[in-house]
Amino acid sequence: MPIEILMPALSPTMTDGKLAKWLVQEGDKVQAGDIIAEIETDKATMELETIDEGTVAKILVSEGAEGVPVNDAICILSLEDDSLTDTQISIKELNIKDLPKETKPIPEKTLTLPPTETTSPSDPNPPGSNTKDSAVKASENRILASPLAKRIAEKAGLGLGGIMGSGPNGRILKLDVEEALKESFGNTQGNTTAKSTNVSVSEESSPPNHANQGQTAVPHTKIRKVIAERVSQSKQEVPHFYLTVECQIDNLLLLRKELNSTAGSLYKLSVNDFIVKAAGLAMKQIPSVNAIWTEQEVRLFSSVDVAVAVAAKTGLITPIVTDVDNKRLSEISNEIKDLARRANENKLKPHEFQGGGFSISNLGMYGIKEFSAIINQPQAAILAIGAAEEIPIVKEGAVSIGTLMRCTLSCDHRVIDGVLGAEFLSEFKRLLSNPLQLLV
């Protein structure tokens, strides 16, 4: 029997995804392990492998489609012993399965859509007439819509009959309903304003087209939308407070230079590698920092896993370095480089960027002296690393030149009190000032 390839759940928070790119076409033969598509999730763009051998019989979701629910069929794979009839029956059954169940009638709101083109009365086929007619016919026969789209429409009291779906076979998705609601809301506002002022809306009074004023509109990617949503949510929900400490790293720089000089091609340590190791050992000493917040409880991690912020091409991502306290500096260094490289190539596996009780963001390489980072929920803390700079230091009445680096800890006050955060930073500073302890 033919096999349905489903939209996978590539992360615990993923409810739908974007089919960013098809790497196969109908009629292509595939082997187990072949990459057939790229899926854009709420965290990254991932490659989708097939675990079966066969022929791509039917592509059900078009390239670029957004809001495809998890576990929805995206293509059909026919196996070697499948007949053409078997494949046709599978496609037919899939279409029947997509039909909506009986629901109570929903009072429809009328959508007043703005005219897009001016046509003459004599034009027998005005622009959009075919689209409108097909929408009416589709609504008379059946309406294909995802469960989430139906729930949103029902809650808003919006009928689905006048909405054109962007999904497979014209299926109405969440984004289609949201766009329809926006248009309805915008038209209602526009009509109300025109009536109250008794002034015709002219081209001059319309909102300016910013794209014609030297600006370029860049559509949001799914990852950018998720980043925007989560950082906004974190700042709104998490009671942040900040602690800053200055760490002298002259001994660390000398040790790094010495270790790299004898490493050959085995590794090349960066200052950030020492920072990750020091943070891991400090978390081991102050375990209450290695925690996440839930509404029921604070959960402490037994393993020391550190998320390291990486500016990938698709957006910010935080791959996880696991068991930091038990790994050598060389292992940490090579692992971070490998994770960063694969993050830029969209080749990270879900478990490599999920979890962790603590994050580190380093902007020191850009000359940023100090900054405060936004906590990566549900984690309780994130450490922001500034640039190292040589400045005069007064010690026991004598002035000398030393290299200082400012480190700012953002804490979730629901989990970490001021004293606890200060204890962590104190231990972290001690380890960076005495880097030989990072080698033990």
Query: Where are the domains positioned within the chain?
Result: 3-97, 222-438
Task: Evaluate if residue 130 carries a pLDDT over 90.
Answer: no
- Asked if the model's pLDDT at residue 301 lies above 70, the reply is yes
Inter-helix orientation angle 271-285/329-344, to 10°? 110
Q: 397: which residues sit within 8 A by CB, 6+ positions away?
A: none
What is residue 199's predicted lDDT score, i.e. its pLDDT?
Answer: 39
What are the φ/ψ torsions at residue 429 (nearest 5 degrees)?
-65, -40
Res 96: pLDDT: 42
List residues with catalytic annotation. 413
Residue spans of beta strands (DSSP E) within 347-397: 358-362, 381-395
Give the whole-angstrom CA distance, residue 183 versus residue 114.
8
Residue 166: the pLDDT is: 76
* Confidence class for position 303, pLDDT limits 50, 70, 90: very high
Please state whether the predicted TM-score (pTM) of the whole model is above 0.75: no
Region 3-97: CATH code: 2.40.50.100
Token pair for 38 = 């790229």
CA atoms in the 13 A half-sphere facing the CB of 145 = 26
Q: Helix (H) and strand (E) counts for the chain?
A: 9, 18
Q: With contact defined as beta carbons under 8 Å apart, do 4 and 82 qualify?
A: no
Q: Residue 75: beta bridge partners?
A: 5, 59
- Domain 222-438, CATH class in plain words: alpha beta
User: Rounded CA gap, 293 and 298, in Å?
Assistant: 5
What was the pLDDT predicted at 3? 87
The mean pLDDT of the chain is 80
Q: Which residue has the higher pLDDT, 431 or 154?
A: 431
pLDDT in tens, 49-104: 888 888 999 999 999 888 899 889 999 988 877 655 555 545 555 544 444 433 34
Between these two residues, 78 and 275, which has the higher pLDDT value? Answer: 275
Q: Are 100 and 24 contacting, i.e. CB atoms less than 8 angstroms apart? A: no
**How much is the average pLDDT of 405-425?**
97
Residue 329, pLDDT above cutoff 90: yes
Q: Please list the residues that pair with 404 across neighbouring strands.
A: 248, 389
Burial-class residue 209 by CB neighbours within 10 Å (0-12, 13-18, 19+): exposed
Six-digit token string for 400: 């000398």
Averaged pLDDT for residues 241-257: 96
∠ at Cα 417 (227, 229), nearest 5°? 10
pLDDT (mean) for 10-28:
85
| Choice between 127 and 66, residue whose per-residue pLDDT is larger | 66
Query: CB under 8 Å to 248, separation ≥6 — which residues?
Result: 393, 402, 403, 404, 432, 433
What is the reported pLDDT for 271?
A: 96
Give yes or no for a contact between 383 and 358, defined as CB atoms under 8 angstroms apart: yes
Query: Tokens in use for 79?
Result: 């196996």
Give φ, ψ of 375 to 5 degrees: -65, 135
Q: Is the pLDDT of residue 213 over 90?
A: no
pLDDT at 208: 53
16: three-class secondary structure by DSSP: strand
Lowest mean pLDDT across 91-95, 258-262, 357-361: 91-95
pLDDT of residue 195: 43
Tokens matching residue 392:
């005069």
User: Highest mean pLDDT range out of 273-282, 287-296, 352-361?
Assistant: 273-282
Which amino acid is residue 86, in one-letter code?
D
Q: At what angle do helices 147-156 and 174-197 cross, to 10 degrees?
A: 20
Can you give the pLDDT at residue 209?
55
